[in-house]
Amino acid sequence: MEATLEAVKRTSRGKNEARRLRAAGSVPAVVYGARQANEAPVGIPVTVDPKLLLRILHSESGVNTLIKLRVDGAETSVLVKEYQLDPVTSALLHADFYQLAMDKLLVLTVPVLLKGEPRGVKLQGGLLDFVTREIQVECLPADIPEHIDIDVTEMELHQAIRVRDLPPNPKWKAVTEGETMLVHIVVPKAEEAAAATAVEGAAAVPEPEVAKKGKTDKDDEKDKKDKDKK
């Protein structure tokens, strides 16, 4: 998703100035350029409309929304690097943006969404365990996915999907470790506990004693008579 946001350069800083800006309906922000020659990026102080920025942050793509930021007539592509909310009112207090080179790859975190109802849940009584809800991907700024969709309809009991099982996509590449578990269908814990109890109970039952083969009392009496005859 792409969005457009207007920004105005500001010349003053400080807490008092920030309060004045918020009271006037704006929010202070800083736009950082790309890092060059191992030097920290230079920040340009600006103000933006907090309502418009919150609308972007609350959209489906959230902080991964590619924003065309217009500053004094010039337009640059940015992503939200950080933002601060009031802990009580959730009002936007501050935001940091960083400029993007549209021809350079970047790594960012993208949410994972599940589609469908698994066979292992619907027909086999299993439970869906959603283990990893976001992964890191590498892509160009113009190809940032809003989310990674996984169709779990055909998943059966004990089956799992890992990062390495995701189908290849020409626009992005998964960076998260391939063995990372995303989702699997498991046996309900109550059934597992019942099965474990049954196994333990079977193991605790003593095996019947096997009668040892040997001489009986009658055999001993017969042997005694045979000795007396001799």
Same domain, 131 and 89: no
* Residue 126: burial class (beta carbons within 10 Å; 0-12, 13-18, 19+): buried
State how far the Cα of 31 lies from the Cα of 218, in Å rounded to an integer.
105
Total number of domains in the chain: 2
Q: H or E stretch including 114?
A: strand 106-115
216 lies in a domain?
no
Q: pLDDT (tens digit, 9 = 90+) per residue, 38-86?
A: 666 678 999 999 999 999 999 999 999 999 999 988 899 999 999 999 9
Whether residue 71 is found in the same domain as residue 130? no
* pLDDT greater than 70 at residue 216: no
Within a domain: residue 198?
Answer: no
How is the beta sheet containing 181-186 ordered, strand by strand? 127-130, 181-186, 160-162
Flag whether 17 is in a domain.
Answer: yes
On whether the CB atoms of residues 112 and 135 are closer than 8 A, the answer is: yes
Cα-only R_g, the chain: 34
The domain boundary residue, chosen from 100, 134, 163: 100
Residue 221 has pLDDT above 80, yes or no: no
Domain that holds residue 167: 107-190
